[in-house]
């Protein structure tokens, strides 16, 4: 059966008819607590990688293989030693058609930690369906979307619909912990897999801007992360004995923190905005048509906006840099009162980077600013800045795709066919470093094609995936592949 001659309608009907089976399949995946950042659940991450491998082989006849993680073994602070999970690569169908484009599909099978005591209303590793929502850790981030690819391809096989593209797969089990080892697999262990024959990459690991209208994503902010350490004494001190007699580390840190950003979100570091790409007239106009309700955004997240303006808010989320203060290590934070003066505190902050900011230059600006402020402070305390690298919160450049390229044209067509409306064209404020790595490795474009909605609560309590987003998402992923020209 051809896609254009009744295949599309049959595909949609098939997906609708198998909704219960699809939900049960996702339930089995969610029940595996594949938390990558904990040593005691690392075996479940590895189990999840093997299960996905076997399912793609048994269901599709795909060629799948596991690549040992180049990082080998991880040593935890408690002395536990566990292996890093392998990376799962694959190809489908068995024989590539040279006349068709080859698309690389990426997803991850590990999840964030979750337990009832965190504030969940249901057991996090059980998929609980309620009022059209499926609650469970990993449901939307990212097991639902990864499974969506398998289900769409299985439907094509069941209906004998010829696939319009060749596919390569890259699924990992360390995304929630910084994608440890994946960069080495891409550029060192298996470079030929990524830099040969790939025409484009699709990632489904992000979300709609709101809760009702689908979108396609063509940009991500990068990130720089720093630790600012202030050491004022050789041990913690009693405030009744030492208060008022010495330079306190916390006082210096609060002063330095206040020099980084003001209450309006304006970054106070000189030169930080010099390389930010200017807003073009075309970009400025593009925000007008985007379906974004600031009241819904405020209510669903329980926040107060800096400015009650749609365009200002969207630009603040997507295309302007931001500086956030994240925490202070070494300071008393537990309930109750403790009159200690901490000997050393570590302030943690990050800057979200946008085109055309470069991480190395931004670090130079941050270092120069801290040096100048320390000089003004005139404190005898020891102060140093650490540029954090090699983690999820490490340094990464922003990514900007081509919103008018063939991937996005296929995405627009597929969205219209599935949802009956044109998608919003959006950027994301967060960072997915592997996006830029795939673009650099393949020298070809990347698209972010989301399945979930803005209120899914990835990484949060009560993470969920709407049944509608899941079922229509399977249709969207499959239709996207068939509409690639």
The secondary structure of 364-412, three-state, reads HHHHHHHHHHHHHHCCCCEEEEEEECCCCCCCECCEECCCCCHHHHHHH
Residue 286 resides in a domain: no
Is residue 324 domain-shared with residue 356, that is, in the same domain?
yes
Long-range contacts of 362-368 (CB under 8 A, 24+ apart): 362/224, 362/272, 363/224, 363/226, 363/387, 363/395, 365/269, 365/270, 365/271, 365/272, 366/224, 366/226, 366/269, 368/270
Is residue 172 domain-shared with residue 188, that is, in the same domain?
yes
202 has which bridge partners? 105, 447
Q: Which candidate in 44, 55, 142, 175 is catalytic?
A: 175
CA–CA distance, 66 with 312 (Å, rounded to integer) = 45
Residue 178 pLDDT > 80: yes
3-state secondary structure of 463: coil
Residue 163 pLDDT > 60: yes
| CB 33 within 8 Å of CB 44 | yes
CA–CA distance, 30 with 350 (Å, rounded to integer) = 32
Write down the pLDDT at residue 76. 87
339-370: burial string, b at 16+ Cβ within 10 Å, e else: eebbbbbbbbbbbbbbeebebeebbebbeebb
Q: With pLDDT > 90 as the criterion, what percentage of the chain qualifies?
A: 92
**Single pTM value for the model:** 0.89
Is residue 233 domain-shared with residue 381, that is, in the same domain?
yes
Residue 289 resides in a domain: no
Is residue 214 domain-shared with residue 346, that is, in the same domain?
no
The CATH number covering residue 359 comes to 3.30.70.360
Final residue before a domain boundary, out of 355, 388, 421? 388
Is residue 113 domain-shared with residue 234, that is, in the same domain?
no
pLDDT, tens digit (0-9, with 9 covering 90-100), for 259-292? 999 999 999 999 999 999 999 999 999 999 899 9
Cα 253 → chain centroid: 30
Is residue 114 domain-shared with residue 144, that is, in the same domain?
yes
Is residue 93 domain-shared with residue 175, that is, in the same domain?
yes
pLDDT, tens digit (0-9, with 9 covering 90-100), for 3-13? 989 999 999 99
3-state secondary structure of 73: strand
CA–CA distance, 325 with 346 (Å, rounded to integer) = 12
Least confident range from 55-59, 150-154, 297-301, 475-479: namely 297-301
Residue 90 pLDDT > 90: yes
Domain count, the chain: 2
Is residue 130 domain-shared with residue 255, that is, in the same domain?
no
Domain around 190: 3-220+398-482
Q: Which candidate in 110, 176, 205, 437 is catalytic?
A: 110
Is residue 180 domain-shared with residue 41, that is, in the same domain?
yes
Span 213-239, average pLDDT: 95
Which residues does 481 contact at the CB level (< 8 Å), separation at least 6? 103, 152, 163, 164, 165, 167, 410
Residue 160 resides in a domain: yes
Residue 394 pLDDT > 80: no
Cα 243 → chain centroid: 44
Helix (H) or strand (E) holding 242: helix 239-242
Residue 295 resides in a domain: no
Final residue before a domain boundary, out of 388, 419, 445? 388
Residue 305 resides in a domain: no
The CATH number covering residue 138 comes to 3.40.630.10
Q: Between the CA of residue 476 and those of 12, 14, 108, 320, 338, what are the distances in Å? A: 10, 13, 19, 30, 55
Q: Does the active-site annotation cover 110? A: yes
For residue 350, which of 339, 332, 363 has the smallest C-alpha distance? 363
If pLDDT is split at 50, 70 and 90, which confidence band does 389 have? Answer: low
pLDDT, tens digit (0-9, with 9 covering 90-100), for 96-132? 999 999 999 999 999 999 999 999 999 999 999 999 9
Span 219-231, average pLDDT: 94
Write down the pLDDT at residue 391. 42
| CB 218 within 8 Å of CB 120 | no
Which residues does 397 contact at the CB level (< 8 Å), separation at least 6? 222, 353, 357, 358, 359, 436
CA–CA distance, 226 with 3 (Å, rounded to integer) = 51
Q: Does the active-site annotation cover 175? A: yes
Residue 469 pLDDT > 50: yes
254-284: burial string, b at 16+ Cβ within 10 Å, e else: eebeebbbeeeeebebeebeebeeeeeeeee
Write down the pLDDT at residue 388. 84
| CB 74 within 8 Å of CB 84 | yes
Is residue 267 domain-shared with residue 377, that is, in the same domain?
yes
Is residue 214 domain-shared with residue 233, that is, in the same domain?
no
Among positive and negative, which fits the CA dihedral 222, 428, 413, 281? Answer: negative
For residue 223, which of 40, 437, 431, 485 has the smallest C-alpha distance? 431
Residue 343 pLDDT > 80: yes
Residue 292 resides in a domain: no
Summary mean pLDDT of the chain: 95
If pLDDT is split at 50, 70 and 90, which confidence band does 392 have? Answer: very low
Residue 469 resides in a domain: yes
pLDDT, tens digit (0-9, with 9 covering 90-100), for 181-204? 999 999 999 999 999 999 999 999
CA–CA distance, 384 with 370 (Å, rounded to integer) = 9
CA–CA distance, 344 with 331 (Å, rounded to integer) = 8
Residue 393 pLDDT > 60: no
Is residue 40 domain-shared with residue 135, that is, in the same domain?
yes
Q: Is 396 exposed, middle or buried (0-12, 13-18, 19+ CB in 10 A)?
A: buried
Write down the pLDDT at residue 33. 98
Final residue before a domain boundary, out of 359, 388, 417? 388
Residue 308 resides in a domain: no
Span 305-314, average pLDDT: 95
Which residues does 280 contact at the CB level (< 8 Å), separation at least 6? none
Cis peptide before 142 (omega within 30 of 0): yes
Residue 382 pLDDT > 60: yes
If pLDDT is split at 50, 70 and 90, which confidence band does 432 have? Answer: confident
């Amino acid at each position: 059966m051809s896609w254009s001659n009744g295949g599309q309608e049959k595909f949609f009907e098939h997906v609708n008819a198998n909704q219960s089976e699809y939900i049960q399949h996702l339930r089995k995946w969610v029940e595996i607590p594949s938390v990558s950042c904990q040593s005691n659940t690392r075996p479940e991450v590895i189990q999840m990688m093997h299960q996905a491998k076997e399912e793609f082989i048994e269901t599709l006849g795909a060629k799948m293989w596991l690549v040992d993680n180049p990082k080998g073994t991880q040593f935890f602070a408690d002395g536990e030693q566990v292996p890093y999970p392998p990376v799962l690569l694959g190809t489908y169908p068995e024989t590539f058609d040279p006349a068709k484009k080859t698309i690389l599909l990426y997803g991850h099978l590990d999840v964030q930690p979750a337990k009832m005591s965190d504030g969940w209303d249901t057991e996090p590793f059980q998929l609980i369906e309620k009022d059209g929502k499926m609650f469970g850790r990993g449901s939307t981030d990212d097991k639902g979307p990864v499974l969506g690819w398998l289900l769409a391809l299985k439907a094509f096989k069941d209906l004998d619909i010829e696939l319009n593209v060749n596919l390569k797969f890259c699924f990992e089990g360390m995304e929630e912990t910084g994608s440890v080892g994946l960069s080495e697999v891409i550029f060192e262990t298996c470079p030929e897999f990524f830099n040969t024959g790939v025409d484009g990459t699709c990632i489904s690991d992000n979300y709609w801007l709101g809760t009702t209208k689908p979108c396609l994503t063509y940009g991500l902010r990068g990130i720089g992360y720093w630790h600012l350490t202030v050491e004022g004494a050789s041990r913690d001190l009693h405030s009744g004995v030492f208060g008022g007699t010495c330079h306190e580390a916390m006082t210096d840190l609060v002063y330095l923190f206040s020099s980084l950003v003001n209450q309006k979100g304006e970054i106070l570091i000189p030169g930080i905005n010099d390389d930010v790409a200017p807003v073009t007239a075309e970009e400025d106009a593009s925000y007008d048509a985007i379906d974004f309700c600031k009241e819904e955004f405020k209510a669903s997240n329980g926040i107060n906006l800096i400015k009650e303006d749609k365009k200002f808010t969207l630009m603040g989320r997507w295309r302007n840099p931001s500086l956030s203060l994240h925490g202070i290590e070494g300071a008393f934070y537990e309930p109750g009162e403790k009159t200690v003066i901490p000997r050393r505190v570590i302030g943690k902050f990050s800057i979200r980077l946008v085109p055309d900011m470069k991480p190395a230059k931004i670090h130079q600006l941050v270092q120069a600013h801290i040096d100048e402020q320390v000089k003004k402070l005139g404190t005898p305390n020891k102060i140093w800045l650490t540029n954090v690298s090699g983690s999820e919160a490490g340094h990464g450049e922003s990514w900007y795709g081509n919103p008018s390229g063939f991937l996005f044209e296929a995405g627009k067509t597929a969205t219209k066919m599935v949802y009956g409306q044109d998608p919003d064209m959006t950027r994301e404020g967060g960072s997915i470093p592997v996006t830029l790595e795939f673009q650099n490795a393949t020298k070809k474009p990347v698209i972010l094609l989301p399945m979930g909605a803005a209120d899914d609560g990835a990484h949060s309590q009560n993470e969920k995936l709407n049944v509608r987003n899941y079922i229509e998402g399977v249709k969207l992923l499959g239709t996207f592949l068939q509409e690639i020209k």
